Chain A
């Protein structure tokens, strides 16, 4: 979705090298024109991507019209019958064309301010029409305090005792505020244990990784994690479909069973548990 927004609204110029810079008309008209122009650029870039080298004007106009009309989006969907879920993947396709930013018609006058230090240039993945980095002094850290201890041993020592303190404080707090059990009869406050509480579904907390663990995992290995989530997304798409199919079937009257299965024909799996539930046969008698 994000990408389509970029295509639709964010790109306000581009290959319209015609360079028409008539800016005399009213602002709304101007906007309409700009919008139409941009749409044209989008259409032409899509066509180029699809392999067209040239197109008739009339065809171009029609396609642009289609895009412009406010119902066009759902309409398009109906025509091409595509799955919304595939949109993000489509948006990320490698061969997509990047539409450059429109030229700023009348660049506002920026007062030349004092420049302190060397401005950082944009990294390659940020389009050049994005604002520049601010002056370095605004974000570069200034060592105004004592140098932190970087001695490994001390760091570890600190981390360990800090964690221990936090854990102890936390558990003591929990123990103080809730029910406890004690190992000693004479002094119940010594070594308080948070009382054991049975849960209705004990296996959930015992089997599912805790949030902390998931977080650690994310931090440690982002590349692998990416892989994992990718595959997970892909497969969960499938099963979510199934589930939604299931749920829809449950809710919807049997007549209105939406052919969700058809949507992803390419990875359609014929598994009896994914098939839609049948309507009961109408009995002749009675």
Chain B
């Protein structure tokens, strides 16, 4: 991780994995279960390897053998339930640190794992010879909640006829959910994969299909795959189903799979994949690294695209026929992304989590190059601007996104991102939104690097990485070359400096090692005397998510005599920059104006300031800084920029700027752009909305027909009868998109009464009426859907008289017309469903809008029926969105409950995820405002959801955390009653609130607690919480007063060794092997838990108030006159009697270690522990853990 002295890759494990066999010999669709075994071939890298830690979740493990000897094992997964004790505090700060610690405790990148296998002592002595070990694990999965997803439609017929299928999925490294492995991107090995499935099914997996063999009863067949290229376990996947097979007609080694009946769509969708292949191979000057490639389209996909070694799994909803326009670019984007990730992400893996940005950056960057080549420079620049705007908005709102976090040694206390309510230490603790933004920023930064070193060098670097990797991939593992297939930040940067000879250090420091974006404010004055442009560029670098920029910045000035680039230097204290102008103001001469691209154009210069030669000014036109620019220039300058600047980004910026200049001149500029068919269609689409906005601002002075109406008529209506739209012909995509967008924008027009003008509404209704698609070779489903959206946009709040009940009779006439259309559309959809049910989606939104505006009774039941499982996913999402909106507006607790139940029970992971993220976007209430919905039961429910209810899906857990944060903030939710005893502390505000209910018990002194006192005691108490984990650890000076037993500490078992493990983990890696030797005791069931407590302490945030009510109680009942120690002792002895007991055991344990009991003996002890475990822990009661812990360990 330390970039300076990066010498290859150091494994955190005391062994090296070289080969793994995964054999799944039974997949039962009825029961949704899987049985199989794995065999890992490992080479110990230390003497006396006595313990092997692997990752495994959900799997029931039957037996473990090492070199044919039965080996005892322990299964412990602290992420199943993050906070083990009934924690009344319920604060997110606490949860986040505990969760991070839990994830660290099983993090394979730190050498940890849920499954700990003791190597039989017979094999210990082999250490000298470094002999190979084979670890054989038999396992099964029953109704997996994560890792593998079964889709079993409820219809008649065999599983194949029912299109039942199963596929692997997960967020980041989640392979441990479906087979035991080293679930790290940096542990590469070769693979042998075997899947026995029903004869009517196909099993698609990574690598080459060597052969397919029938079982003896001929009812099943076994697919044998070999993957000779060293691959990390997270890049292994599986899809089994009655797939239709399509061999790519252009590339026979590429095979596509889809569900039954969809073959025609698959053929069409895949007809251009070869072009993407060719493109990447050409720019990377490197062949696709695997010998084959497979695409599988599955239903109920977790994400739209997921890439694995030599295969990608897509959502089946990306498939489309040739009639569909809108889906085509979307699907192509997805395919291009998937393929880019094949090179960078699958073939080349990452060394550690902090190197993730390199992979995401490169794959995103080459994907961008593909976009540029296929969809054109305009599309590409538009996309870059869009992505830039996105990241800027996110960082300014939420806080910085850090690409390359460094966690220096054990000092986890300095959290690199204190502004976030989650930790960025692990991919599994990140919010989904953050991760999306992370990827966005990564590819933007790659583009910045390209700007700096040129694309040629950039591609050379990629080629170098790939050729190194492919050389390494063909080597035997002994050559230690495999780590060349892992990319690291330092390796990447070194490669860049070798290839380009340029130092990009400052760039990296600015955008990679540091979070935040730059916020510029620009304004200017023209000094006529000096003929100088005085430009002022200020920065805001104090707000959250911003950073200070020092360095060059490009400014482009369009003058009468031409366009000129200037590179200014942004320095510490200089705000003003003088830019000499080239032209005198002399616009009397009729002369063409030269533009940046060499073109010379005539301009009407009458709008200009007579004294100034300046047409427009652009700051950082190439987007070579991650920034937001707020630039002030006169409206006519924006108009010139819109009309004459050829860069689409400049045009889009001008359009956004013109929104605040509602003048006839702006109107004219926008209309002209709308009419120009050479202009990029997305710019024209944006101009529609801007025009609607300024038309509304100009309402009183607006002349002529409503904005865009005559334009639309001219472009799309019949010459002979202008009120009737031409029959559809979407052969020209640009005008198709414009035709779709204009009505939607027009519907936003408002008249003096703030209603949509009658003329506009009738116009839209006519469009619907006369819509005729019979002669069109393309489907008009998206067009019709947008016409419904237009109707929705035309809606305004109903005039309500005394809150009358909405009935059919008092329905507004316009609304009646709208409602009739919507009813008809929605009903027709049942008979002739549209592609992806776009019409239904739009209708549901329209109905919700009608409800919200008080035209029809507000009622969620319709949406709830459409939200059911069994509707198309887009429809469900639209319906859920409406229910969520209803929940907020009507403050309905029953609907909120219904939604949360769905989060628990819905079969589709994506739906669960969307419910939580939509709830966070449109929350029923927020921490800022009081709400009746905010009550203790809800807090409990959400707490449970993130604490244990979502342990099978990292993404969902982070979604739950996000929602919790949105609703309650970081601290204890305000709706909770104050703890029974003691005070609630808020360290941030430095105040304490004494629980009113216990005021009397506190005695007269209670309320007089001083702020200072509160503060100090809080500090103490924070550390007290951690005490048991801290024995012998560096944190000691702060809080080790052995004065209080905390609720947490009761979870470690009596007799458990707690001391070495945590410190071992926290210590520097190099220390690891020695630590490991000491730590050979297998009975440390809860060592990882102990680790958590330790971590918790380290990660402590200063703002954390009292952790636990009981600790608060101990620490805070320091009423004047009551000696604190006494009280603490009392509480200790009364509440946690077994505390001392625990310590005894602890000592006893140490002795035992010296004696080196035989392992059988230990095992007994261990099982005893387990029994207790079951009885005493909430932890062991959680379903998954309970099962695994109880699973037999066959050591006898």
Note all chain A residues with C-beta closer than 8 A to B861.
181
Given contact pairs A190-B808, A196-B866, A209 touches B321 in the complex (Cβ within 8 A)? yes
Chain A CB within 8 A of B1156 CB: no
Give the shortest distance, in Å, between B1185 (CB) and chain A (any CB).
Answer: 34
Q: What 0/1 readout, one digit per residue, does chain B (308-346) give for beta carbons within 8 Å of chain A?
A: 000000001101111100000000000000000000000
Q: How far in angstroms is the closest Cβ of chain A from B202?
A: 7
Q: Evaluate contact between B245 and A203: CB separation under 8 angstroms.
A: no
Please determine whether B836 and A168 come into contact, CB atoms closer than 8 angstroms: no
Contacts of A273 in B (CB 8 A): 202, 209, 245, 247, 255
Q: Hey, which chain B residues are within 8 Å of A201, CB to CB?
A: 153, 155, 163, 299
The proximity string for B residues 868-886 relative to A, scoring 1 for CB distances below 8 Å and 0 otherwise, is 1111111000000000000
Stretch at the interface among B11-19, B257-265, B622-630, B1074-1082: B257-265
Given A205-B833, A242-B245, CB of A254 within 8 Å of CB of B218: yes
Given contacts A187-B807, A208-B262, contact A232 B267 (CB under 8 A): yes
Evaluate whether A209 and B779 lie within 8 angstroms (CB atoms) in the complex, with A183-B857, A187-B808, A201-B163 already known: yes
Contact check, A210 vs B865: say whether CB atoms are below 8 A apart: no
Closest chain B CB from A160 CB (angstroms) = 5
Residues of B within 8 Å of A195, CB to CB, are 865
- Is A183 a contact partner of B836 (Cβ separation < 8 A)? no
Task: Answer whether residue A48 sits at the interface, using C-beta atoms and an 8 A cutoff.
Answer: no
A186 to B269, CA, bound (A): 48
Return the contact of A235 from the options B249, B721, B831 (Cβ within 8 A).
B249
**Within the assembled complex, what's the spacing in Å between the Cα atoms of A206 and B831?**
12
Distance (Å) between the CB of B317 and the closest chain A CB? 6
**Measured CA separation A219–B772 after assembly (Å):** 14
Residue B3 at the chain A interface, CB threshold 8 Å = no
In chain B, positions 235-266 with a C-beta closer than 8 Å to chain A are 244-247, 249, 252-253, 255, 259, 261-265
Q: Assess the B263–A239 pair: CB atoms within 8 A.
A: yes
CA distance A115 to B234 in the complex (A): 85
Query: B252, A271: Cβ atoms under 8 Å?
Result: yes
Known: A160-B772, A167-B828, A203-B316. A278 touches B865 (CB 8 A): no
Which chain B residue lies CB-closest to A172?
B827
Cross-chain contact B872 with A202 (CB below 8 angstroms): yes
Interface hit among B118-126, B133-141, B749-757, B816-824 = B816-824
Pick out which of these stretches binds chain B: A1-9, A19-27, A69-77, A151-159. Answer: A151-159
- On whether A235 and B267 interact (CB within 8 A), knowing A160-B770, A202-B870, the answer reads yes
A202-B868 Cα distance, complex, nearest whole Å: 11
B214 is an interface residue with CB less than 8 A from chain A? yes
Judge if A269 is at the interface, Cβ distance under 8 Å: yes
Complex CA–CA separation, A236 to B266 (angstroms):
12
Q: Is the CB of A183 within 8 A of B847?
A: yes
Q: B774 to chain A: closest CB distance in Å?
A: 6
A207 touches B862 (CB 8 A): no
Does A274 sit at the interface, judged by CB under 8 A? yes
Q: Does the CB pair A153–B724 fall under 8 Å?
A: yes
- Find residues 744-782 in chain B having any chain A CB closer than 8 Å to their own CB: 769-770, 772-777, 779
Residues of A within 8 A of B807 (CB): 184, 186-187
Return chain A residues, CB-CB under 8 Å to B870: 197-200, 202
Contact at B321–A194, with CB atoms within 8 Å?
A: no
B212 touches A277 (CB 8 A): yes
- Min CB–CB distance A251 → chain B (angstroms): 10
Q: Answer yes or no: B1134 CB below 8 A from chain A CBs.
A: no
Q: Are B769 and A239 in contact (CB under 8 A)?
A: no
Q: Which residues of the partner chain A approach B775 to less than 8 Å between Cβ atoms?
A: 220
**Residues in chain A near residue B199, CB distance under 8 A:** 250, 277
Q: Which of chain A's residues 29-75 have a Cβ closer than 8 Å to chain B?
A: none
Closest chain A residue to B255 by CB distance?
A273
Partner of A198, one of B320, B323, B871: B871
Partner of A191, one of B154, B823, B831, B865: B823
Query: What is the CA–CA distance of A250 and B264 in the complex, to the nearest angstrom?
Result: 24
Nearest Cβ distance between residue A130 and chain B, in whole angstroms? Answer: 34
Chain B proximity mask over A255-286: 1 for CB below 8 Å, otherwise 0? 00000000000000111111101111100000
The contact string, 1 if C-beta is below 8 Å from chain B, for chain A 162-203, is 001001101100110000010111110011111111111111
Q: How far is the CA of A212 from the CA of B252 in the complex (A)?
A: 34
Q: Is B1038 an interface residue (CB 8 A)?
A: no
In angstroms, Cα B857 to Cα A186, docked, is 10
**Is A81 in the interface zone, CB < 8 Å from B?**
no
Task: Establish whether residues A168 and B824, one from each chain, have CB atoms under 8 Å apart when the complex forms.
Answer: yes
Interface string of B709-739 (1 = CB under 8 A from A): 0000000001011001000000000000000
Would you call A152 and B828 a contact (CB within 8 A)?
no
Say which residue of B153, B320, B777, B857 sits within 8 Å of A200 (CB atoms).
B153
When C-beta atoms are compared, the residue in chain A nearest to B216 turns out to be A280
Q: Chain A nearest CB: distance from B200 CB in Å?
A: 7
Who on chain B is nearest to A182 by CB? B862
Given contacts A174-B830, A183-B857, A191-B820, contact A204 B869 (CB under 8 A): no
Q: How far is the CB of B819 from chain A (nearest CB, A)?
A: 6
Return A265 CB to nearest CB of chain B, in Å: 15
A231-245 contacts to B, CB under 8 A, are 232, 235-236, 238-239, 242-243
A171 touches B770 (CB 8 A): no
Contact of A274 among B247, B319, B823, B832 (CB under 8 A): B247
Residues on B with C-beta less than 8 A from A272 are 208-212, 292
- By the criterion CB–CB under 8 Å, are B200 and A250 in contact? yes
Contact of B835 with A by CB under 8 A: yes
CA distance A256 to B165 in the complex (A): 29
Q: How far is the CA of A243 from the CA of B247 in the complex (A)?
A: 12
Distance between Cα atoms of A184 and B245 in the complex (Å)? 49
A195 to B826, CA, bound (A): 10
The answer to whether B831 and A170 touch across the interface, beta carbons within 8 angstroms, is yes
Assuming A164-B769, A200-B154, A238-B247, is B872 touching A184 (CB within 8 A)? no
Q: By the criterion CB–CB under 8 Å, are B247 and A271 in contact?
A: yes
Contact of A184 among B247, B320, B857 (CB under 8 A): B857
A193 and B214 within 8 A (CB): no
Given A196-B871, A203-B872, decide whether A221 and B211 contact each other with a Cβ distance below 8 A: no
A121 at the interface (CB under 8 A from B): no
Q: Which residues of B contact A187 (CB under 8 A)?
A: 807-809
Is A213's beta carbon under 8 Å from chain B? yes
Contact (Cβ within 8 A) B827 A175: yes
CA distance A219 to B245 in the complex (A): 30
Q: Does B575 contact A (CB under 8 A)?
A: no
A269 to B870, CA, bound (A): 39
Contacting residues of chain B (680-727) with chain A, CB-CB under 8 angstroms: 718, 720-721, 724
Specify which chain A residues have a CB less than 8 angstroms from the CB of B162 in the assembled complex.
200
Whether, in the assembled complex, A97 has its beta carbon less than 8 Å from a beta carbon of chain B, the answer is no
What's the nearest-Cβ distance from chain A to residue B939, in Å? 33
Contact B322 A208 (CB under 8 A): no
Q: How far is the CA of A170 from the CA of B831 in the complex (A)?
A: 9
Question: Which residues of chain A come closer than 8 Å to B212, judged between CB atoms?
Answer: 272, 275, 277-278
B967 at the interface (CB under 8 A from A): no
CA distance A157 to B856 in the complex (A): 31
A216 at the interface (CB under 8 A from B): yes
- Provided the pairs A239-B244, A270-B252, A278-B214 are in contact, do residues A207 and B823 lie with their beta carbons within 8 angstroms? no
Give which listed residue, B244, B323, B720, contacts A213 with CB less than 8 A.
B323
> How far, in whole Å, are A192 and B819 apart by their CA atoms in the complex?
11
Residue pair B317, A210 in contact (C-beta under 8 Å)? no
The CA of A274 and the CA of B828, in the complex, are separated in Å by 42
* Interface check B837, CB cutoff 8 A: yes
Which residues of chain B are near A219, meaning CB under 8 Å?
A: 774
Interface residue ranges, A against B (CB under 8 Å): 152-153, 156-157, 159-161, 164, 167-168, 170-171, 174-175, 181, 183-187, 190-210, 212-213, 216-217, 219-221, 224, 228, 232, 235-236, 238-239, 242-243, 250, 253-254, 269-275, 277-281
Q: What are 5 A-B contacts with C-beta separation under 8 Å? A: A184-B808, A187-B808, A200-B155, A277-B221, A279-B213
Given contacts A186-B808, A217-B323, 15 further A-B contacts (CB under 8 A): A164-B769, A168-B824, A171-B823, A171-B824, A181-B861, A183-B847, A191-B808, A198-B868, A201-B299, A209-B323, A210-B833, A220-B775, A236-B263, A238-B247, A271-B252
